[in-house]
Each structure stands twice: as C-alpha cells, then as structure tokens.
Structure 1
Amino acid sequence: MTDVPFIQVEDVYFSRGDNDIFRGVNMTIPR
C-alpha cells in the first residue's frame, strides 16, 4: 500500500488516513 518501510512498523497509523500516517511518523520519529 505504501512505499515507506518505517511506516510498516507503526501498524496503528495504517488504520488512519495517508496524511495522518506521515503526521504520526513525524511525531514518533524525530527528523
């Protein structure tokens, strides 16, 4: 579904929308 590998780690974000996925990753992973 997504081309981002690190997103697979956070399966919870999959339930949300694509925009929410990136937002959640940013909060979880400091960049």
Structure 2
Amino acid sequence: MLKVISYAMIGVFALGLAAAAIGSAGVLLDF
C-alpha cells in the first residue's frame, strides 16, 4: 500500500516537473 502511495507521489512530482519545464520553456520562447 505504501508503495502505491510513493509511486503516486513520484508521478505527481514528475508531472509537476514536466509542467514547470514546459512553462519555463514557453516563457523563454516568448522573449
């Protein structure tokens, strides 16, 4: 059960990291 929770947290973290990378790339391309 803890393994499922840890995998879910890693997935959410990776998704947030990807969203942040895409957002920062969009900001860099705007300028």
Shorter-chain-normalised TM-score: which range?
0.3 to 0.5
Q: Normalising to structure 2: TM-score of the pair?
A: 0.39
Compare CA radii of gyration and give the structure with the larger one. 2
Q: Normalising to structure 1: TM-score of the pair?
A: 0.39
Higher helix share: 2
